[in-house]
Structure 1
Amino acid sequence: MKYKLEYTFQMKKKKEGIHFTSDWIQSALALEMGEELEKRNDTKDLIFYDEKGTSWTLKELRKLNEEMEEEPHDFTVYFDGGYHKETKTAGIGVVLFFQQGKKKFRVRANELFHDILSNNEAEYAALFHALNLLEELEVRDVTCEVKGDSQVVLKQLEGEWPCYEEDLNRWLDRIEAKIKKLHLNMIYTSIGRNENKEADKLATQSLEGKRIYSKMQLI
Structure 2
Amino acid sequence: MKKVKVWIEVTYRTPKKTKTFFKSDEMTIGDALLIAEDLEKIGRAETITFIDQYDTTWKRKDLQKYLHGLETEPHNITVFFDGGFNRDDRRSGLGCVIYYEQSGKAMRLRRNALVDELRTNNEAEYAALHLAIQELDFMGVHHLPVRFLGDSQVVVKQLNDEWPTMEDSLNEWADRIENKLNQMGITPSYETISRKDNREADRLATQALNGVEVTSRVEID
Mark yes or no: TM-score above 0.5. yes
* SS of 2:85 mapped into structure 1: strand
> 1:153: which partner in 2?
155
> 1:176: which partner in 2?
178
Runs of 4+ in 1 over 4 A off after TM superposition: 50-54, 60-64
**For the structure 1 residues 51 and 205, does the alpha-carbon distance in structure 2 shift closer, same or farther, using more than 3 Å as the test?**
farther
Measure how far apart 1:167 and its partner are: 1.1
Aligned pairs, how many?
Answer: 185
Mapped partners of 1:77, 1:88: distance in 2? 26
> 2:38: which partner in 1?
none
Structure 2 counterparts to residues 22-61 of structure 1, below 5 A: none
* Structure 1 unaligned regions, length at least 5: 5-26, 36-49, 55-59
Are the equivalent residues in 2 in contact too, given 1:80–1:123 (CA < 8 A)?
A: yes
* Structure 2 unaligned regions, length at least 5: 6-27, 35-51, 57-61
Does 1:2 pair with 2:3? Answer: yes
Mapped partners of 2:118, 2:71: distance in 1? 41
Letter in 1 for 2:100: F
Q: Quote the sequence identity (%).
A: 41
Letter in 1 for 2:93: G
Structure 2 counterparts to residues 114-193 of structure 1, below 5 A: 114-193=116-195
Are the equivalent residues in 2 in contact too, given 1:147–1:191 (CA < 8 A)?
A: yes
Measure how far apart 1:197 and its partner are: 0.5
TM-score, normalisation: structure 2: 0.72
* SS of 1:193 mapped into structure 2: coil
Measure how far apart 1:136 and its partner are: 1.1
Are the equivalent residues in 1 in contact too, given 2:4–2:144 (CA < 8 A)?
A: no
Structure showing greater Rg: 2
**CA distances 1:110-137 after superposition (whole Å, capped 9, x unpaired):** 0011122111111001000001111111
Mapped partners of 1:160, 1:142: distance in 2? 24
Give the superposed CA RMSD: 3.1
TM-score, normalisation: structure 1: 0.72
**CA distances 1:139-166 after superposition (whole Å, capped 9, x unpaired):** 1111110001111101111112110101
